[in-house]
Amino acid sequence: MGNMGDGGWEICDDPDVRPIPPCTIYSFGINYDFSFDDEASTVYGCHVFSFDPSMNKLPDKMDRSPLVHFYKVGLSNTATITNNKWALKTFTDIRSMLGHNTKDIDIVKMDIENSEWLALPEMIKSDQLTTVRQLM
């Protein structure tokens, strides 16, 4: 899915984990390339929530389409504002912000420049991955 190279990702299409509408995808790390998000919403009919605090040219919140929603927020192990004014939240905080506390998340895609290693322990410790079907 998405552009070949840095914007492309493989979604597991096995019957046990294939996204089936109404499905939900969290996509962390966009860098102005929404090709994965757009294609996943089109092919699977999923609501895709896209997150990237570094995209200064975009508003804090934006609907790209009825199914693709962008937030200028990043993922980390703690909620903070960085020196370059990026808003970071925990996975728990983001799920709560979206009202998805108990919702199954079909796919979590992360390409956040090694910050995955900060976020993942918090996601595991808080049991937030128990309702995630695919982690990429």
Q: What is the pLDDT of residues 23-49, one digit of tens each?
A: 999 999 999 999 999 999 999 999 999
Interatomic CA distance for residues 112 and 109, integer angstroms: 9
Phi–psi pair at 60, nearest 5 degrees: -65, -30
The domain limits of the chain are: 24-135
Interatomic CA distance for residues 54 and 36, integer angstroms: 18
Q: Is the pLDDT of residue 105 over 80?
A: yes
5 φψ region: left (φ > 0), alpha (ψ -120 to 50), beta (else): left
What pLDDT was estimated at residue 3?
Answer: 61
- For the stretch 54-85, pLDDT in tens is 999 998 999 999 999 999 999 999 999 999 99
Interatomic CA distance for residues 54 and 46, integer angstroms: 24
What pLDDT was estimated at residue 113?
Answer: 84
Interatomic CA distance for residues 96 and 45, integer angstroms: 23
